[in-house]
């Protein structure tokens, strides 16, 4: 997949198994688009503050906050989303917080399948539609979505509601959302993974499940934390000769006893890379989506600087 | 929580004295493997029966334990599997997977006042999606099932791998929340119109619940609301059973015989979350037994000696290569030496960061254990035994 293809959409949903760097990749994707001059809204669906951390932006709320030129962040809040929905669609004025109604929402949302999800994805779709109709500024909305286990329910909420709710305004309200989510010119669902067994397994499962159960078009698989290949085949042969006696001992004599540790580290790096490559082979055999690779970052593991570095790698993969 | 530093003790003492060890941690830290490895450690060192209850194991690991696709049934890991992996078990290792749907069905059958009500609940079209979603139902059944297994008295030690949740400690609240939910005003409101007057569907809305209904109706449609209410009306008949049970589950989790082990990697985000779990466990008076630092780089490898050698390799690779016996392609040799020097330094940066994070640990339970990263992924008993040797050396 090249950059213009992916970044030409209006809504990029980013999911992945916990711990693979989903939020970092979502933030980096937004940054890539912003560097291309787009105005981007990033929606943090779990509202755990992880997206704000990626931009070192401090607390964020339901009202979009511009954290750098071209990038605004929004933390999902289903109560606020309901208040907004009631105000805009049913003309029920809500002043301040919902108060006792919040308890009701909490109850209905936990009890009624899809209510929480519809309020979440409804807000996302609403922002996309507003921007397409010129009432909001976004060229692109990036969603740091629920993890693989929940994202199907989230994206399928509009359809699920229509199956369950026979009448009522909600039914009518979900029609346009389904259409927007199903339009390949507008929406893409992207999966972040790492080259390890469980994340790859979940990615394969998710892609299959999304195809069976959702009308949402799939975008790219983004493989995060790919370890570099240390040697070409020829160099690997040389490495074998350098670590066989008597050369191995000569190395220790030349650079000190630490040569053993250096060799052990190289062997670990080669073996780690090899077991991960096996997972990548499996991914490519089972998933036919465009796949982007992001390198393992030795230097950083958090913050704005990491986001910048991942964005640069991502831009290169996208041919930008 | 002691103020001691370093990884002086192993989890062997916990495995030997506790009846339940609950492993928790954020996604991707290797919780399932560590939990299963603890089971292997216990079964190889002690007599008796050890059960590992896992939630969502990788397919190959489930295969290795013999529990792939068998639902809630507990299975004994055959001695032959141990022998194949070169281990001699002293006790018995059992394994089971948590099947949420099966567990919920069993719960309904147990708590419903009669079989007819039970079937009305099980057959309700909302039942499945509700048990999948509401009040952290996965967490609830995980803890509930733990209680049930413990009550049978079949095992000397039960090791639990917790479900991957948005907030990893949700499962601790699940029993209490379940009780709250059943006793709550909202459930009374929702079902009230259908209870009063005895006639289902007759909407006798009280003053208190009127605003609730007018809004809920407009959002969801009244038919849907009625479906939900009927479902919960049946569900509510299980109230007493659920509440009593929830209290027992909570008591067991707080009991001295139960301990918690938090698993994390030495990376910023998982570690931050791991420390939050530790704090939270201590705050709520649970027994925090161990902190397991998983997939760390081996400290012995990335010490100062290696750093010296790596720096010299990077600086003088051509000279070093030229002085080696029988190496004719000096350029290739120099390239490889530079590469391994650089690779060492790259990984050493990560190792240094890990050391830094380890020394800054805020919470220190009596047991803090490092489990080094393994090049290949753990997918069999042999692999679990390797982890086990680090968890409980000697």
- Using one digit for the tens of pLDDT, what is the confidence trace for A195-212? 998 899 999 999 999 999
pLDDT at B107: 85
Could you tell me which of A230, A218, A225, A206 has the C-alpha nearest to residue A280? A225
- For residue B309, the number of C-alpha atoms closer than 13 Å in the C-beta half-sphere is 30
Quote the CA–CA distance of A246 and B371 in Å, as a whole number.
33
Q: Say if residue A99's pLDDT is above 60.
A: no
Two tokens at A103? 């308890």
What pLDDT digit, counting tens, does each position of A274-304 carry? 999 999 999 999 999 999 999 999 987 778 9
Supply angle C-alpha B264, B270, B271, rounded to 5. Answer: 70
A135 touches B at CB < 8 Å? no
Contacting residues for A318 by C-beta, under 8 A, at least 6 apart: A1, A2, A3, A6, A7, A32, A292
Task: Answer whether A170 sits within 8 Å of B329, measured CB to CB.
Answer: no
pLDDT at A186: 97
pLDDT at A91: 65
Q: Which residue shows structure tokens 């459930």?
A: B187
DSSP 8-state assignment for residue B300: T
What pLDDT digit, counting tens, does each position of B194-241 carry? 655 444 444 444 544 555 566 666 666 666 667 677 777 777 777 777
Q: Which residue shows structure tokens 């607390």?
A: A59
Residue in chain B nearest A265 by alpha carbon: B344
Quote the CA–CA distance of A39 and A52 in Å, as a whole number.
17
CB crowding B261-287: b at 16 or more within 10 Å, else e: bbbbbbbbbbbebbbbbbebbeeeebb
Handedness of CA B142, B146, B147, B151 (dihedral sign): positive
**Conformational region of residue A231, where left means phi above 0, alpha means psi within -120 to 50, and beta covers everything else:** beta
pLDDT at A135: 92
Taking a C-beta distance cutoff of 8 angstroms, is the pair B150, B225 a contact? no
Using an 8 Å CB-CB cutoff, list chain A residues near B338: none
pLDDT at A24: 95
Give which of B138, B336, B355 to mutate to test A binding, by max A Cβ within 10 Å: B336
B367-372 vs B288-296, strand pairing mode: parallel
Using an 8 Å CB-CB cutoff, list chain A residues near B135: 110
Torsion of CA B200, B206, B211, B216, to 10 degrees: -10
Quote the CA–CA distance of A179 and A217 in Å, as a whole number.
11
Quote the CA–CA distance of B133 and B138 in Å, as a whole number.
8
Two tokens at A212? 């069976």
Chain B nearest C-alpha distance from A76 (Å)? 14
A241 touches B at CB < 8 Å? yes
DSSP 8-state assignment for residue B324: S
Q: Say how many CB pairs under 8 Å bridge A and B.
A: 213
pLDDT at B197: 47
Gyration radius of chain A's alpha carbons: 23
| CA A12 to chain CA mean position, Å | 9
Across the interface, which of B29, B325, B346 has its CB nearest the CB of A247? B325
Quote the CA–CA distance of B189 and B196 in Å, as a whole number.
11
Residue in chain A nearest B332 by alpha carbon: A235
Q: How far is CA B317 from CA A111, A199, B312, B314, in A?
A: 67, 39, 8, 6
Using an 8 Å CB-CB cutoff, list chain B residues near A260: 306
ipTM: 0.87
* Average pLDDT of chain B to the nearest whole number: 83
* Average pLDDT of chain A to the nearest whole number: 88
Residue in chain A nearest B57 by alpha carbon: A198
Q: Say if residue A156's pLDDT is above 90.
A: no
Torsion of CA A65, A66, A72, A77, to 10 degrees: -10
Could you tell me which of B178, B314, B340, B198 has the C-alpha nearest to residue B248? B178
Across the interface, which of A101, A255, A271 has its CB nearest the CB of B215? A101
A218-226 vs A187-193, strand pairing mode: parallel
Two tokens at B46? 């002690």
Two tokens at B21? 């060890």
Across the interface, which of A86, A169, A262 has its CB nearest the CB of B313? A262
Task: Answer whether B190 sits within 8 Å of A198, measured CB to CB.
Answer: no
Supply angle C-alpha B52, B57, B62, rounded to 5. Answer: 75
Task: Answer whether A86 sits within 8 Å of B29, measured CB to CB.
Answer: no
- Give DSSP secondary structure letters for B99-150: -HHHHHHHHHHHHSSSHHHHHHHHH-TTHHHHHHHGGGHHHHHHHHHHHHHH
SS3 B260: strand
Supply angle C-alpha B150, B181, A111, rounded to 5. Answer: 110
Residue in chain B nearest A278 by alpha carbon: B376
Q: N- to C-terminal Cα distance for chain B?
A: 24
Chain B nearest C-alpha distance from A103 (Å)? 8
Could you tell me which of B368, B348, B367, B346 has the C-alpha nearest to residue B358? B368
Quote the CA–CA distance of A15 and B191 in Å, as a whole number.
37
Which band of pLDDT confidence, cut at 50, 70 and 90, is reported for residue B171? low
Residue in chain A nearest B189 by alpha carbon: A104
Which has the higher per-residue pLDDT, A100 or B127? B127
Task: Answer whether B341 sits within 8 Å of A262, measured CB to CB.
Answer: yes
pLDDT at B98: 84
Contacting residues for B205 by C-beta, under 8 A, at least 6 apart: B192, B193, B213
A93 touches B at CB < 8 Å? no
Quote the CA–CA distance of A4 and A36 in Å, as a whole number.
10
Two tokens at B187? 């459930």
Residue A259: CB atoms within 10 A of its CB come to: 30
Q: Say if residue A39's pLDDT is above 80.
A: yes
What pLDDT digit, counting tens, does each position of B321-356 carry? 999 999 999 999 999 999 999 999 999 999 999 999
Give which of A27, A169, A237, A255 to mutate to test B binding, by max B Cβ within 10 Å: A255
Across the interface, which of B267, B320, B336 has its CB nearest the CB of A239? B336
Q: Say if residue A86's pLDDT is above 80.
A: no
Q: Say if residue B170's pLDDT is above 70.
A: no
pLDDT at B202: 43
Residue A133: CB atoms within 10 A of its CB come to: 8
SS (H, E, C) chain A: CCHHHHHCCCEEEEEECCCCCHHHHHHHHHHHHHHCCCCEEEEECCCCCHHHHHCCCCCCCCCCEEEECCEEEEECCHHHHHHHHHHHHCCCCCCCCCCHHHHHHHHHHHHCCCHHHHHHHHHHHHHHHHHHCCCCCCCEEEEECCCHHHHHHHHCHHHHHHHHCCCCHHHHHHHHHHHHHHCCCCEEEEEEECCCHHHHHHHHHHHHHHHHHCCCCEEEEEEEEECCCCCCHHHHHHHHHHCCCCHHHHHHHHHCCCHHHHHHHHHHHHHHHHHHHHHHHHHHHHCCCCEEEEECCCCCCCHHHHHHHHHHHHHHHCCC
Chain A nearest C-alpha distance from B27 (Å)? 5
Sheet holding A187-193, edge to edge: A65-68, A71-75, A40-44, A140-144, A11-16, A187-193, A218-226, A291-295
Percent of chain B predicted with pLDDT > 70: 79
Of the listed ranges A25-39, A283-297, B4-18, the least confidently predicted one is: B4-18
């Amino acid at each position: 997949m090249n950059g213009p293809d992916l970044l030409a959409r209006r809504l990029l949903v980013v999911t992945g198994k916990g711990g693979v760097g989903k939020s970092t990749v979502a933030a980096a994707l937004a940054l890539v688009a912003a560097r291309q001059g787009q105005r981007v809204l990033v929606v943090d669906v779990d509202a755990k503050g992880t997206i704000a951390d990626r931009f070192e932006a401090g607390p964020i709320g339901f009202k979009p906050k511009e954290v750098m030129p071209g990038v605004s962040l929004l933390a999902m809040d289903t109560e606020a989303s309901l208040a907004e929905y009631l105000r805009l669609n049913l003309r029920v004025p809500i002043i301040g917080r919902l108060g006792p109604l919040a308890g009701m929402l909490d109850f209905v949302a936990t009890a009624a399948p899809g209510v929480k999800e519809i309020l979440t994805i409804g807000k996302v779709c609403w922002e996309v539609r507003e921007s397409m109709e010129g009432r909001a500024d976004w060229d692109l909305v990036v969603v740091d979505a629920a993890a693989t286990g929940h994202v199907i329910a989230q994206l399928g909420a509009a359809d699920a509601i229509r199956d369950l709710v026979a009448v009522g305004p909600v039914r009518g309200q979900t029609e346009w959302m389904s259409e927007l989510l199903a339009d390949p010119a507008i929406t893409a669902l992207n999966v972040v993974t790492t080259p390890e067994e469980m994340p790859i397994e979940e990615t394969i499962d998710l892609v299959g499940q999304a195809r069976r159960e959702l009308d949402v078009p799939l975008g790219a698989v983004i493989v995060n934390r790919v370890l570099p290949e240390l040697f070409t085949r020829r160099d690997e042969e040389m490495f074998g000769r350098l670590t066989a006696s008597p050369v191995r001992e000569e190395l220790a004599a030349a650079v000190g006893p630490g040569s053993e540790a250096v060799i052990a580290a190289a062997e670990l790096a080669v073996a780690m890379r090899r077991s991960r490559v096996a997972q990548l082979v499996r991914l490519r055999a089972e998933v036919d989506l465009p796949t982007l690779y992001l390198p393992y970052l030795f230097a950083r593991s958090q913050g704005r600087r990491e986001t910048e570095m991942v964005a640069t790698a991502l831009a290169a993969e996208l041919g930008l | 929580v002691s103020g001691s530093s370093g990884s002086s003790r192993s989890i062997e003492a916990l495995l030997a004295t506790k009846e339940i060890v609950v492993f928790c941690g954020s996604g991707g830290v290797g919780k399932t493997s560590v939990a299963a490895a603890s089971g292997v450690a216990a079964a190889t060192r002690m007599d008796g029966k050890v059960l590992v209850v896992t939630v969502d194991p990788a397919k190959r690991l489930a295969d290795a334990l013999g529990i792939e696709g068998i639902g809630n049934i507990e299975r004994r890991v055959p001695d032959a599997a141990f022998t194949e992996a070169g281990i001699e078990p002293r006790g018995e290792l059992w394994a089971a997977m948590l099947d949420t749907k099966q567990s919920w069905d069993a719960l309904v059958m147990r708590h419903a006042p009669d079989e007819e009500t039970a079937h009305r609940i099980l057959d309700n079209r909302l039942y499945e999606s509700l048990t999948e979603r509401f009040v952290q139902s996965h967490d609830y059944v995980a803890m509930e099932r733990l209680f049930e297994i413990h009550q049978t008295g079949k095992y000397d030690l039960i090791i639990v791998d917790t479900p991957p949740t948005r907030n990893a400690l949700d499962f601790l609240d699940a029993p209490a929340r379940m009780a709250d939910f059943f006793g709550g005003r909202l459930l009374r409101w929702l079902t009230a119109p259908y209870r009063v007057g005895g006639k289902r569907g007759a909407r006798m809305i009280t003053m208190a619940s009127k605003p609730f209904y007018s809004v809920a109706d407009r959002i969801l449609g009244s038919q849907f609301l009625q479906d939900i209410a009927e479902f919960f009306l049946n569900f509510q008949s299980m109230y007493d059973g659920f509440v009593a049970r929830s209290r027992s589950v909570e008591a067991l989790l707080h009991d001295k015989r139960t301990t918690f082990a938090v698993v994390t990697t030495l990376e910023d985000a998982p570690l931050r979350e791991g420390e939050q779990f530790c704090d939270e466990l201590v705050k709520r008076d649970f027994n925090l037994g161990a902190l397991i630092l998983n997939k760390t780089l081996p400290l012995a490898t990335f010490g100062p000696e290696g750093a010296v050698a790596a720096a010299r390799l990077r600086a003088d690779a051509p000279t070093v290569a030229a002085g080696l016996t029988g190496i004719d392609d000096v350029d290739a040799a120099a390239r490889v030496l530079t590469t391994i020097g650089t690779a060492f330094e790259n990984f050493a940066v990560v190792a240094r960061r890990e050391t830094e994070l380890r020394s800054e640990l805020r919470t220190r339970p009596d047991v803090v254990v490092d489990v080094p990263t393994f090049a290949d992924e753990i997918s069999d008993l042999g692999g679990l035994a390797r982890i086990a040797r680090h968890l409980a050396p000697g």
